[in-house]
């Protein structure tokens, strides 16, 4: 009987030493003892495909494809992204447009949206106040221009929009991260940042003056 | 014919029963401990084609999760970033690093970087990132403290029982949606504060996490 217990002990010790404990880091693919249709022959986003030559389940848009179903009415600005001002920041003559397209209402809600998107996508390089001193500068990012000079204060809104959309210099396009409406929100927020730098005590609303120690 | 079995054999049936009982207990304990995602999935940390450090990018640099996983608020699928996303900075930072060669190659050719997928719910689970993030379920609730991981590992079991822990008592977990990507955030009022605020959110937003099969399976 003693041998039986010793054998049992040996089996337990060797099993634990092979299997380890819960939560220990491992490179091994998780074991699926009963597959139970866990992995089905269907395509999920950003997954692999054995069928297509490039091995991707996500198919790139074929050349010349046109987005369908933005709106049912041809002639509406949203139809096939026809509105140059809203979708490209351009006037009909192909020059950057001044002001905001008619779809955009500049209000506190838009600025809040702009602040959120700016903080996520722009602040790492352009800095929280738009001075070009984002965190990436300490890691070797080249000179990121400040928004607070006359050139960028005077540039049309459509130009800022266009920079977000297609990039400029070393900055790549952010069109995949920011939808058109969000790009306009960021433009509005950048304008707010610029305005904040040239503010004077006279701009402060009376209700907040005592809080800031102003008369 | 007197002594075919020794006297000690009288105890043998009892001893055998005890032994079988003990063995059964050990096997059951082993199955309970090992045959669960808490063992099979938690801790999975595959080597990635690029040794990307979330601890550096999300932790030290303080970049928002959504800088790279930009569709998480819009899509059921939280995307792995494109190579262009990496190149936004790495066209100027560490441009010659051999570790980043797969990213540069992907950016040039358009072929994806073959990242290893770590968190993988079964294909009959229709988990939707956007609805969870929109209602204040933080990334940290399912993925753990990614912002402290040099190499990402599977931190939570993602088993059905584990999902239901939150679907039954969402007030213990949901937070202000503005704070979902702040992985270090805990309610300043501790558990009591979290519970109080969570109950308010559950009521105000009419949060009713499904507990029926078809909520997640179809």
The residues in A 4-63 lying below 8 A from B, measured between CB atoms, are: 4-5, 8, 12, 15, 19, 22-33, 36-40, 42, 44-46, 54-56, 60
Q: Cα B139 to chain center, whole Å?
A: 9
Q: Percent of chain A at pLDDT above 90?
A: 52
Question: HSE-up of A54 (CA within 13 Å, CB side)?
Answer: 13
Is the Cβ pair B124, A37 closer than 8 Å?
yes
pLDDT digits (tens, 9 = 90+) for A134-171: 999 999 888 899 999 999 999 999 999 999 999 999 99
* Ordered domains of chain A (ranges, CATH): 79-197 (1.10.760.10)
Confidence of residue B26 (pLDDT cuts 50, 70, 90): very high
Q: Name the residue among A12, A36, A139 with its Cβ closest to that of B93.
A: A139
C-beta separation of B105 from B51 below 8 A: no
Buried/exposed code over B83-121 (b: 16+ C-beta within 10 A; e: otherwise): bbbbbbbbbbeeeeeeebebbbebbeeeebbeeeebebe
Q: Which of A141, A171, A173 sits opposite B93 (nearest CB)?
A: A141
**Domain boundaries, given as residue ranges, for chain B:** 40-80+115-216
Distance CA A155, CA A190 (A): 12
CA angle B153, B155, B156 (to 5 degrees): 145
Q: What is the DSSP letter of B212?
A: S
Return the pLDDT at A155.
94
What gap in Å lies between CA B132 and CA B72, rounded to an integer?
Answer: 10
Q: Which residues of A touch B149 (CB under 8 A)?
A: none
**CB-based contact, A82 to chain B, within 8 Å:** no
pLDDT in tens, B120-136: 999 999 999 999 999 99
- Supply the ipTM of this predicted assembly: 0.88
The rounded distance, in Å, linking the Cα atoms of B171 and B205 is 12
Taking CA atoms, B189 is separated from A105, B186, B205, B214, in Å, by 38, 8, 21, 36
């Amino acid at each position: 009987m003693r041998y039986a217990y010793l054998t049992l002990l040996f089996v337990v010790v060797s099993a634990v030493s092979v299997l380890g404990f819960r939560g220990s880091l491992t490179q091994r693919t998780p074991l699926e003892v009963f597959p139970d249709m866990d992995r089905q022959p269907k395509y999920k986003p950003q997954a692999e495909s054995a069928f297509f030559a490039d091995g991707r389940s996500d198919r790139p848009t074929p050349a010349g494809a046109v987005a369908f179903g933005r709106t049912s009415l041809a002639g509406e600005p949203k139809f096939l992204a026809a509105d140059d001002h809203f979708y490209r920041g351009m006037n009909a003559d192909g020059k950057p447009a001044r002001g905001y397209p008619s779809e955009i209402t500049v209000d506190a809600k838009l600025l809040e949206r702009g602040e959120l998107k700016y903080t996520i996508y722009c602040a790492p390089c352009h800095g929280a106040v738009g001075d070009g001193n984002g965190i990436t500068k300490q890691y070797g990012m080249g000179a990121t221009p400040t928004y607070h000079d006359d050139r960028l204060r005077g540039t049309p809104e459509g130009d800022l929009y266009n920079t977000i959309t297609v990039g400029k210099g070393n900055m790549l396009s952010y069109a995949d991260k920011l939808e058109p409406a969000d790009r306009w929100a960021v433009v509005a927020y950048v304008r707010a940042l610029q305005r904040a730098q040239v503010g004077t005590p006279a701009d402060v609303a009376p209700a907040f003056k005592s809080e800031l120690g102003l008369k | 014919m007197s002594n075919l079995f020794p006297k000690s054999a009288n105890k043998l049936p009892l001893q055998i029963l005890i032994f079988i009982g003990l063995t059964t207990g050990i096997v059951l304990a082993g199955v309970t401990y090992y045959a669960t995602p808490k063992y099979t999935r938690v801790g999975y940390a595959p080597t990635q084609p690029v040794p990307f450090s979330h601890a550096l990018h999300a932790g030290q640099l303080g970049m928002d999760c959504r800088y790279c996983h930009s569709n998480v608020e819009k899509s059921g699928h939280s995307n792995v970033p494109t190579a262009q996303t990496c190149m936004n900075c790495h066209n100027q930072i560490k441009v010659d690093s051999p570790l980043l060669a797969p990213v540069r190659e992907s950016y040039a050719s358009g072929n994806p970087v073959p990242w290893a997928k770590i968190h993988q719910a079964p294909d009959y689970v229709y988990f939707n990132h956007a609805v969870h993030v929109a209602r204040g379920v933080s990334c940290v609730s399912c993925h753990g403290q990614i912002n402290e991981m040099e190499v990402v590992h599977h931190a939570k079991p993602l088993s059905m029982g584990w999902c239901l822990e939150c679907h039954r008592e969402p007030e213990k977990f949901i937070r202000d949606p503005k704070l979902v990507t702040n992985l270090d955030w805990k309610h300043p009022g501790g558990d009591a504060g979290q519970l109080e605020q969570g109950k308010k959110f559950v009521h105000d937003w009419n949060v009713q996490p499904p507990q029926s099969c078809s909520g997640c399976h179809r």
